Chains A and B, each alone.
Chain A
Amino acid sequence: MKIRQSLLSVGATVMACAAAFGAVLLVLWACGYPPLGILHRWLIGAVGNSYYISNSLAETCPLLLTGLAAGIAFRSGVLNIGAQGQFLIGAMVSVGLATRWQVTPAVMPTIVIAVVGGAVGGGLWAVLAGALERWRGVPVVLSTILLNFVAFYLVEIILSGPLQAHGTSAPQSAEIQGRYWLPVLIKFSSLHIGVLLAFCLAALLYVVNRQTVFGFQTLVTGLNPRAAQLAGIPVARQQMTVIFVSGGLAGLGGAFQVLGVTHFLIANFGSYGYAGIAVALLGRLNPLGIAFSALFFGMLDTGALRVEESSLGLPHNIADVVKGTVLLVMLLLLAFINRRRISPTAKVDAAATEGR
């Protein structure tokens, strides 16, 4: 039963990906573009040689971390859609700790402090939303939307104030010195150590979710907060921990991205936070699934760059078209498959009714 269900959901996801890819290529074909040519370039750009593969993996890292951030939060019923803001705050704290607010000149400690600082920064930014919900009754969904913007402008202010690079008037930080960059796994590639750590974190979270009391309790809270409360689970404290961890993961993503890939910061730092929501959903909120879907999204992104470089006249945005379509198709498929047990709560409620 269980195996059949997980096979079904994996099958649905793969089908959604294939269908979406097919639909997009079909539309392009109708517009007069060669579908096979596009597909070929896309594949080459994603996994064609070691250079492209390492790029894809590097691109996967922020997506994976923001995806895990959204996944762990959604799973326990905390609608944190502020990964974007937490990602930015994490990156900002991290770049600060590696440039102007450096604590020690030693290399390794600086990197570790910058990474941890980024994660804590992102986590605390998320806790702000959690605190607003707990003490002032502001729904997390709403406060995190707003906090994304506050974070954006706050980062711009700091980047044009205390952290601004010398000799520029634009809001951007100084470049981090080469020795404080994240070490790379393979020389001359963009494959930094953060990628490996991100995948390890995904595995760790999988174990935490399945094997620990904490993982079980947060799942119950997500399925039915009232039942969780009655069963003696400290829901409020648990939600706060979850939102801290969630924000911390997003912040960690920002820290890795700035220390490992871009090496300096501007406020327009990509929309990994918003993409994370999509990644989490495609992975069905399961850390292992999220790892695969982040990998898929990362390959889509880098492959599309190659499509853009070719003379076809298509922009890299085409990756976003595929992503959006994949999600919508998968949501539809899920709605279809789960006709009977539509929401996770429905099952619990039905069981409760039967018991009565």
Chain B
Amino acid sequence: MAAGENIVTFLAQQMIAAAVPLVMAGIGELVAELAGVINIGIEGLMLTGCIAAYTAASCGYGSIGLCAGILGAMALAAMFATVAVSGRADQIVCGAAINILAVGASGTAWAVFQNWRQKHDMSVSLPHGAGFHKWPLPFLSRTPFFGPALFDQYTLCYVTILLGILVWWLLRYARLGLIIRSLGDFPEACQAAGIRVRAWRWGAVLFAGGCAGAAGAYLSIMRTHSFAADMTGGQGFVVLALVIFGRWNLFGLTAGCLLFGFINALQQVLQTARYTAHNRLLESLQHIPFQWFQMLPYAAALLALAVMAKNRPGPRALGRAWPPETPGE
């Protein structure tokens, strides 16, 4: 945050920085939901990503941390899939269980890790080089206005953009996307076409786990270089809400994430006297309780659903176990 930076640039940059983990986790959750699996444990998966990435990065390498974050969340996602996909248990309940487990496990693991760190006289912060730093893209980052906002970010931001484009293309034009969407809309057809519904759903859940893990790693070893109990602070639930907000569409999802990021950035601006001192608009905004803005994305999502939902909100088989019943064997 260089001095003399103008407020629009700051807003745009913070907005995108805050939106990245949401989009990343959102892509995963979107794919899983399109495949018919709703995982409300995504908050727990992100939290697992945070702690796993942080502990592993303490060995000195950020890339190991990132991998650990992804793998840790995938391991938890595998537990979810074992129970909810293979075991056919209720997905909502499984997701709730995953959340509780992850909140507890990350808190406990954090305490255990700190004890261990004390015993071995390690420093209480990440070793130098273990956290990621921003990676401004050459040339692009110096473009006026767009440059700093879009191209002076952490590596994962660019990965997220590329992944988003890839997933959008796959969902729209590839056979893979067709399979995924039919898993959630009409699994009977998949069955008839010889596509193994449960195996594919497993894949979708694992993918969602990996995405959530990367998003968690972004929070702990990129944006903050620290860990705190419950540091995701409900962002996983936000992702759930935003997938609904975006009506199971990648563009809608991204728009929702940016809106959310913007509100986050706005909050930072309103708390910074440097920006608010001479700006009439910002001063007047300060008088409104900020919670109204924070409520906005959720209220907007509800309203959007209420206005448009009449025609089929979301994948038809969302939340339904497969196979739907056991034939009398």
Contacts and interface: CB of A to CB of B under 8 A. Distances in A.
B64 interface: no
Contact of B244 (A142, A157, A317, A321): A142
B89 A331 contact: yes
Interface string B306-329: 110110011000010100111011
Interface stretch (A114-122, A245-253, A334-342): A334-342
Nearest to B41: A324
Contacts of A288: none
Given A79-B92, A136-B310, A328-B83, A141 B319 contact: yes
A277 B244 contact: no
Given A325-B101, A350-B328, A149 B92 contact: no
Nearest to B295: A153
B302 A132 contact: yes
A284 to B, nearest CB: 11
Contacts of B268: none
Interface in A111-158: 132, 136-139, 141-143, 145-150, 153-154, 156-157
Contacts of B325: 342-343, 345-346, 349-350
Nearest to A136: B306
Contacts of A141: 38, 92, 319
Interface stretch (B107-115, B149-157, B171-179): B107-115
B96 A328 contact: no
A317 B108 contact: yes
Interface in A63-112: 79, 81
Given A321-B101, A324-B105, A341-B326, A137 B83 contact: no
B100 A161 contact: no
A193 interface: no
A340 B309 CA distance: 36
Interface string A163-195: 000000001000000000000000000000000
Interface residues on B, range: 35 or more
B40 interface: yes
B269 interface: no
Nearest to A327: B97
A138 B309 contact: yes
A124 B319 CA distance: 26
A317 B326 contact: no
B313 A138 contact: yes
A278 B96 contact: yes
Contacts of B103: 317, 320, 324
A313 interface: yes
B305 interface: yes
B83 A136 contact: no
A334 B241 contact: no
Contacts, number: 191
Interface string B116-132: 00000000000000000
Chain B CB within 10 Å, residue with most, of A132, A143, A145: A145
B99 interface: yes
B104 A320 contact: yes
A343 B90 CA distance: 10
A353 B327 CA distance: 10
Given A136-B305, A141-B319, A315-B111, A328 B101 contact: yes
Nearest to A155: B291
Chain B CB within 10 Å, residue with most, of A138, A336, A349, A353: A138
B20 interface: no
A160 interface: yes
A334 B295 CA distance: 39
A137 B289 CA distance: 32
Chain B CB within 10 Å, residue with most, of A31, A160, A171: A31
A274 interface: yes
Given A137-B309, A346-B326, A331 B319 contact: no
Contacts of A143: 302, 305
Given A142-B313, A161-B289, A346-B325, A328 B97 contact: yes
Contact of B291 (A153, A274, A322): A153
Contact of B82 (A153, A160, A324, A332): A332
Contacts of A139: 313-314
Contacts of B310: 136-137
B100 A331 contact: no
A317 B99 CA distance: 12
Interface string A300-326: 000000000000011101111111110
B229 A317 contact: yes
Contacts of A314: 108, 111-112
Closest 6 CB pairs of A and B: A324-B101, A320-B104, A317-B107, A335-B87, A327-B97, A321-B104
Interface of A: 31, 79, 81, 132, 136-139, 141-143, 145-150, 153-154, 156-157, 160-161, 171, 274-275, 277-278, 281, 313-315, 317-325, 327-328, 331-332, 334-336, 339-343, 345-346, 349-350, 353
11 contacts: A136-B309, A141-B319, A146-B244, A146-B301, A313-B115, A317-B229, A320-B105, A324-B104, A324-B105, A331-B83, A343-B325
